[in-house]
Amino acid sequence: MALMNWLFKEEPSNYSFDALVKDKSTVWSGVKNPVAQRNLHAVKKGDRIFYYHTGDEKQIVGVAKALGDAYPDPDDAAGKAHVVDIGPVRKLARPVTLKEIKADAWFKDFDLVRISRLSVMPVSDAQWARIEKMSG
């Protein structure tokens, strides 16, 4: 099966990309939204992840990868939530801001523009390539 691309959002004051680099890996947990949780459940080992800083920054700052398939959250008594282990790959040469993405009409169907509050979302190969290019 082909690998997927994702965008994971996090408040940098809560857990920044630099913290992920320092820690070398983390368990991505705490996703509550049902759509974001369904997306997280679909993450497979090797999938690429854009790391997005929310809050005041609103920008894609780095690339991470799924270190394994998503698995049931051991802290969820209901057994519905999933988590995934991720690790850093690299910082982007230059962060790509939400403002830049919204200014490009090509991204009008991108979930980051359409469903801005979603914390885990798919990224098409074409969107991935365009964002990589924008980052320099």
Render pLDDT for 50-101 as a digit per residue (tens, 0 to 9).
999 999 999 999 999 999 999 999 999 998 999 999 999 999 999 999 999 9
Cβ-proximal residues to 105 (8 Å cutoff; 6+ apart), any chain: none
Task: State residue 52's pLDDT score.
Answer: 98
d(CA 82, CA 41): 6
Task: State residue 37's pLDDT score.
Answer: 97
Whole-prediction pTM? 0.96
Residue type, 93: A
Mean pLDDT of 8-16: 97
Cβ-proximal residues to 21 (8 Å cutoff; 6+ apart), any chain: 62, 88, 91
pLDDT tier, 116 (very low <50, low <70, confident <90, very high otherwise): confident
**Residue 26 phi, psi (nearest 5):** -155, 165
Task: State residue 49's pLDDT score.
Answer: 98
d(CA 10, CA 58): 10
Q: Which residue has the higher pLDDT, 13 or 116?
A: 13
Task: State residue 93's pLDDT score.
Answer: 97
Task: State residue 120's pLDDT score.
Answer: 98
Nearest to 81 by CA among 111, 119, 48: 119
pLDDT score of 22 more than 90: yes
